[in-house]
Amino acid sequence: MTLAATGGLERLSLNTATCKRLDLAGCVDAAARAGLGAIGPWRDRVHEVGVERAARLIRDAGLRVSTLCRGGFLTASDDTARRDALDDNRRAIDEAATLGTRELVMVVGGLPSAFGRLGLAMTPGDAGDKDLVGARQRVADRIAELVPYAAERGVRLALEPMHPLFAADRGVLQTLEQALDLAAPFPADVVGVVADTYHVWWDPRCREQIARAGREGRLASYQVCDWVLPLAPEPLNSRGLMGDGYIDFPTITSWVTDAGYAGDVEVEIFNEQLWALPGDEIVDRIAERYRDLVAPRLG
């Protein structure tokens, strides 16, 4: 029995990106063995085995699916790219429904001029498209196009604001306030927001906007990992275990609890050093930090 399997982890969810070197079955086994209550799969892991088999694997292990990651990348100005993105997001909505989660995490996408950095298809016009205001409007327009499809399938589009470090290439929504304003025209059970400590901890209005998300019934997911320095050569992989950096987890968790959030707490860490460890050791480490820094402030 691992250290993690000593109880108190029913609300803890393992995002599969935290155990990057494990396939879906390996992540499921590690989470179940440790006594976690849920898992948050990325679509690439689901696609490796097929969505129906993935759903069975997770269900047979006695786990919930906290979220599916990810939909989004909705900022292209080209009509063909727009249609392709909407089609892919509809597939993601279907996958979420099959997996049994109502929460599809939406990483909305960056500027078209940065598409090449992520290996995304680019048109000649993309290279010069640095219109941040226009990109945000395209996100709003395309969320509106997806809402009826998501509503029919009982899936919520969970908008994830991203730290300004990632505004150019991954997400043009930077704050919970922006995400909530975008979500406001739509039903709360169809468009919500993700509070990821890595992305929101710096925001002077974080407490206020978490409370607003709770009042509006839009707090779809709470994700935790730490902000560590120095940043890695690839900034995306600079996330750390809770307690290794500068985020005040007890305080932010208390804000989330006060907002009425009673769902899973998902640990999503991109970190080369952590990925090098065996899966069971990774789960033990996140469970220990979760018990110390997060669980005591959960309702």
* Domain presence at residue 44: no
* Domain presence at residue 45: no
Q: Are residues 102 and 134 part of one domain? A: yes
Q: Are residues 168 and 90 part of one domain? A: yes
Phi, psi of 231 (to 5 degrees): -65, 150
Q: What's the burial of 282, exposed, middle or buried (CB within 10 Å: 0-12/13-18/19+)?
A: buried
Structure confidence by residue, pLDDT tens digits, 38-55? 999 999 999 999 999 999
Give me the chain's average pLDDT, please: 96
Q: Are residues 202 and 75 part of one domain? A: yes
Q: Are residues 114 and 202 part of one domain? A: yes
* Domain presence at residue 2: yes
* Domain presence at residue 172: yes
Q: Are residues 205 and 71 part of one domain? A: yes
* Domain presence at residue 219: no
CB 144 within 8 A of CB 190: no
Listed range (82-91, 116-125, 212-221, 245-254) with the worst mean pLDDT: 116-125
What confidence category does residue 7 fall into, taking pLDDT thresholds of 50, 70 and 90?
A: low
Cis peptide before 70 (omega within 30 of 0): yes
Domain with 197 in it: 67-211
Domain at 77, CATH number? 3.20.20.150
pLDDT at 113: 95
Residue 241 in this model has a pLDDT that exceeds 50:
yes
Q: Are residues 97 and 30 part of one domain? A: no
Residue 27 in this model has a pLDDT that exceeds 60:
yes
Q: Are residues 189 and 117 part of one domain? A: yes
* Token pair of 232 as six digits: 């890695």
Q: Are residues 176 and 103 part of one domain? A: yes
Residue 278 in this model has a pLDDT that exceeds 90:
yes
Residue 3 in this model has a pLDDT that exceeds 50:
no
What is the pLDDT averaged over residues 249-266? 98
Alpha-carbon 171 to chain mean position: 12
Q: Are residues 81 and 108 part of one domain? A: yes
Identify the domain boundary among 171, 188, 211: 211
* Domain presence at residue 217: no
What confidence category does residue 126 fall into, taking pLDDT thresholds of 50, 70 and 90?
A: confident
> Which residues have a Cβ under 8 Å from the Cβ of 195 and sit 6 or more positions away?
176, 210, 213, 219, 221, 222, 223, 252, 256
CA distance 237 to 232: 6
Sign of torsion over alpha carbons 129, 130, 133, 139: positive
Percentage of residues of the chain with pLDDT beyond 90: 95
Residue 1 in this model has a pLDDT that exceeds 50:
no
Cis peptide before 230 (omega within 30 of 0): yes
Q: Are residues 243 and 190 part of one domain? A: no
Q: Are residues 156 and 167 part of one domain? A: yes
DSSP per residue, 274-295: HHTS-HHHHHHHHHHHIIIIIG
What confidence category does residue 234 fall into, taking pLDDT thresholds of 50, 70 and 90?
A: very high
Identify the domain boundary among 211, 235, 264: 211
Residue among 133, 192, 207, 197 nearest 167 (CA): 133
* Domain presence at residue 254: yes
Residue among 165, 162, 146 nearest 71 (CA): 146
pLDDT at 299: 83
Structure confidence by residue, pLDDT tens digits, 164-220? 999 999 999 999 999 999 999 999 999 999 999 999 999 999 999 999 999 999 999
Structure confidence by residue, pLDDT tens digits, 52-101? 999 999 999 999 999 999 999 999 999 999 999 999 999 999 999 999 99
Identify the domain boundary among 211, 238, 267: 211
Q: What's the structural domain count of the chain?
A: 2
CA distance 115 to 82: 13
Q: Are residues 95 and 19 part of one domain? A: no
* Domain presence at residue 246: yes
